[in-house]
Amino acid sequence: MFTKLLNHEILNLLKSRRVYLTVIMFLLLFTTVFVVRVLDYQKQVNQYIEDVKVNDEAMANIENYSHITPRAIQEPILFSIYNEGYRIQRVINIKFYEAIIETTSINAERNMLFFPDTELDITFLITFFLSLFILLISYDSVNGEKQVGTLRLLMTYPLKRQSFILKKMLGVFIFVAFVFTMPYFLSIISLMVIYANLLTINFFISAFFYWFLTIFFILFFSLLGIFLSTCSKSPNQSLVYAILTWMVLCIIIPISWDYIISPSLSNERIHQATQNYHTYTTQAKRAIEHDLPDDANLRLVPMGIWTSSAGIENDGIHEMSLWGYDETYEQSSRFQSHLYENYYPLIRASEQAYDDVYRVRINTENMMNRVFFFNPIVIFHNLSMKIAGNSRVDHLVFLHTARELRDDLVNLGATEGWLFDYRFYAHFKEEYNLGSREEMLARFDGDRELVWEYVNDIEENAEMYEMEVPVFRKYEQPHFTLAMMIPRIFESMVLFVGSIVGLWVVIWWRFLGYDVR
Amino acid sequence: MLKITDLSKRYEDGNLALDNLCLEIRRGKIFTLLGANGAGKSTAINIICGFIPPTGGDVWVDEISLSENPLLLRCKIAYLSENVMLYDNFTGYQNLKFFADISKIPATKGNKATNPAMKFNLIKVLRDVGLQDEFIHENISKYSKGMRQKIGIAIALVKDAPMLLLDEPFSGLDPKASHDFQALLYKLRNDGKTILMSTHDIFRAKEMADVVGIMQGGKLVMTKTRTELESEDLNRIYLDYIEERVVMENEE
């Protein structure tokens, strides 16, 4: 009997003109956003190929290695079609002498929509539009039947009230879940066709988790809609409630978070981390200034630009400059070599201190978000970024990896170096004597793979070569396995599921005492 | 068949809508409840249907108690209101089919779950209640009030409940539809159904009812059988009660 009720509910939704229009609108939007995002991704891929090519040419034509700026170039993430995330910076220039990590902003166009910080991606479509659509479908599911009177007639049949409310919830949920799942899987299949060579098992893991998360999102909003429909006798009134609730969740809370709460966020841990950062930068600056060579021709030389630590915008404090000189290339080079050899740990420590500020801030924001501003929209947004692998923390990992690559080279005594195709080549001091890149390439007829085989061979057979082996590292994109994904999203999922259960209990309790007349 | 004992209902605002109502209707009889607005007719029907809980007393239909087994009691009653409530997105047939599908009587000790509606040919039922063939597969939104009423009675018929509860069923029907509906109710009574009907229509009450009850202030203040009423003017009696009530209200 329950199946018949459920079938009837879904059929009833299918036959409603309002629902029909809503679904058509969602499908149109989904298709548009997907096409825009695929084109955008293609732009990023083209840009990436261009960046690598420019790097390649620069490396090929270089005569003096001290001019080389190694770059860590982040590969575009295919799943960014679904969630753009915090991938604003994707190229990192690693400047040795200045001990600076600079980043280049993404060149592909950002598709902004409504809010300055919001991008047109599938996540936005789900959080902004799908949530509204679900509420528009479900706002009158109980009081609508009450108004027409069918609720009364149903209650004269041997149906438990629980069955009725369960069929209402499942009807909306299954219907919307299907409406989302259909184009979603079609989009995945399209990607399988377009980018067959780029797809990895990780992509499918992300795709599955993203779908799973969206299903929870749909469940939450279906319940919310049904809850609102039990809050008022008139469907018109509950429509107003639904729109107001949606505005609070989707517009007011996120905007007040971005522009009011987050900027004024302050606690002891952030304060302490910021203090540490200032201590290190001041220490580094003073030490360097006292150590300026006598022939210094003073001008402002940027020492560290840490604004690159993704995400924190609008604060210019994280920049350190000092009076140095660069009258001639030799002077500049000598000075910077001097800094590098003597102050690298100090400069590195201030970089690290800044990253700590950033990390503490992310943790604090997440905690505040979860505990005080519980909002399924924000949780969904954050979780989907974690699933896509382009959250703020992921960007921090990217920065760290690049810096660690530089650390390795510095520890090995490299004074020059570059990063190419995610691998560092380095021109080391004489005792390692790997030769310059060109010498290496010339030795292997320009075949980079053979160069690397040679390097790997040295690494693996250190004893045979009787030398201290430099540790080469390759930058790798962080890829998420199932085992890594689950702990990533577990904590927030618990909150999500908890809120769904809580809402369900409230609806259950409300409807048991609901006046059906 | 239907037995109501000391049924009371006091709403949250303190209004006493039913005051120890006692009533008994025998099988195969039409009982008409008359009364002014607020007399408690609809409240009584709402309680029997399980829309609202009573504050005291109990209802039995076929020895099944509302307080002890509300779900099973619902299998014993069919309800038809002034405005027949149907799903506008479906056709008359689809509405009937849906309600027939959910008419299943749940399993009890020694009895398996059964669906009495299964024995009916739904199209035939729709024809029997007088719905024209061309409207059977037409959307409900195109139906007149009389046609909706016919679907409503068809739904009640296929539920195959021994007791019919009708809340102002004649209101808003044109004379032809009223006449047809009345004939249908006679047929049901002759088939052994028990009918409890609330109405404002005194003439129809007198014409149709085997027993007429007048409610006032949540109480059943008068019951008279058809034979007793033959020599009396029901209209006069009813107005007397109403006027009495007006006097009582003025005194208060």
Give A 12-31 residues with CB within 8 A of chain B. Answer: 12, 15-16
Flag if B50 and A156 touch (Cβ within 8 Å). yes
Flag if B89 and A16 touch (Cβ within 8 Å). yes
Which pLDDT score, from 0 to 100, does residue A419 have? Answer: 34
In which residue are the tokens 């749940």 written?
B106
Give A 367-406 residues with CB within 8 A of chain B. Answer: none
On whether any CB of chain A is under 8 Å from the CB of B102, the answer is: yes
On whether any CB of chain B is under 8 Å from the CB of A159, the answer is: yes
Residues in chain A closer than 8 A to B72 (CB atoms)? 158
DSSP string, B126-194: HHHTT--HHHHTSBGGG--HHHHHHHHHHHHHHHT-SEEEEESTTTT--HHHHHHHHHHHHHHHHTT-E
Most confident of A174-178, A381-385, B210-214: A174-178
Which pLDDT score, from 0 to 100, does residue A239 have? Answer: 94
- Summarised one tens digit per residue, pLDDT across range A48-97 is 888 777 766 765 664 443 334 556 667 778 888 898 876 545 555 554 43
Residues in chain A closer than 8 A to B75 (CB atoms)? 158
Flag if A156 and B78 touch (Cβ within 8 Å). yes
On whether any CB of chain A is under 8 Å from the CB of B21, the answer is: no
Which pLDDT score, from 0 to 100, does residue A217 have? Answer: 92
The domain ranges of chain B are 1-76+162-174+192-252, 91-160
Q: What percent of chain A has pLDDT over 70?
A: 62
Flag if A157 and B102 touch (Cβ within 8 Å). yes
Domain B1-76+162-174+192-252 part of CATH 3.40.50.300: yes
Residues in chain B closer than 8 A to A152 (CB atoms)? 49, 51, 79, 81, 85
Residues in chain A closer than 8 A to B51 (CB atoms)? 152, 155, 515-517
Confidence bin at A310 (pLDDT 50/70/90): very low
Other CB atoms within a 10 A radius of the CB of residue B134 amount to 7
Which pLDDT score, from 0 to 100, does residue A382 have? Answer: 81
Which pLDDT score, from 0 to 100, does residue A242 have? Answer: 95
User: How far is Cα A117 from Cα A128, in angstroms, rounded to an integer?
Assistant: 14
- Cα nearest neighbour of A152 on chain B: B51
Give the minimum alpha-carbon distance from A156 to chain B in angstroms, rounded to a whole number: 5
Q: Is the predicted ipTM greater than 0.85, yes or no?
A: yes
- Cα nearest neighbour of B155 on chain A: A153
User: How far is Cα A298 from Cα A323, in angstroms, rounded to an integer?
Assistant: 6
Most confident of A101-110, A479-488, B136-145: B136-145
Is residue A400's pLDDT more than 80? Answer: no
Which pLDDT score, from 0 to 100, does residue A396 have? Answer: 74
Q: Give yes or no for a contact between A391 and A310, defined as CB atoms under 8 angstroms apart.
A: no
User: How far is Cα A209 from Cα A298, in angstroms, rounded to an integer?
Assistant: 56
Closest partner residue to B50 among A4, A5, A155, by Cβ? A155
Give the minimum alpha-carbon distance from A28 to chain B in angstroms, rounded to a whole number: 25
Which pLDDT score, from 0 to 100, does residue B145 have? Answer: 82
Give the minimum alpha-carbon distance from A76 to chain B in angstroms, rounded to a whole number: 48
Which pLDDT score, from 0 to 100, does residue A171 have? Answer: 93
Which pLDDT score, from 0 to 100, does residue A308 have? Answer: 31
The domain ranges of chain A are 7-34+114-263+490-512
On whether any CB of chain B is under 8 Å from the CB of A47, the answer is: no
**Angle, to 10 degrees, between the axis of helix A376-388 and the axis of helix A201-229?**
170
Is residue A311's pLDDT more than 70? Answer: no
Give the minimum alpha-carbon distance from A231 to chain B in angstroms, rounded to a whole number: 18
Closest partner residue to B52 among A16, A156, A515, by Cβ? A515
On whether any CB of chain A is under 8 Å from the CB of B147, the answer is: no
Q: Where are the beta strands (DSSP E) in B26-144?
A: 30-35, 56-61, 64-65, 77-80
Flag if B102 and A517 touch (Cβ within 8 Å). no
Flag if A12 and B51 touch (Cβ within 8 Å). no
User: How far is Cα B129 from Cα A235, in angstroms, rounded to an integer?
Assistant: 33
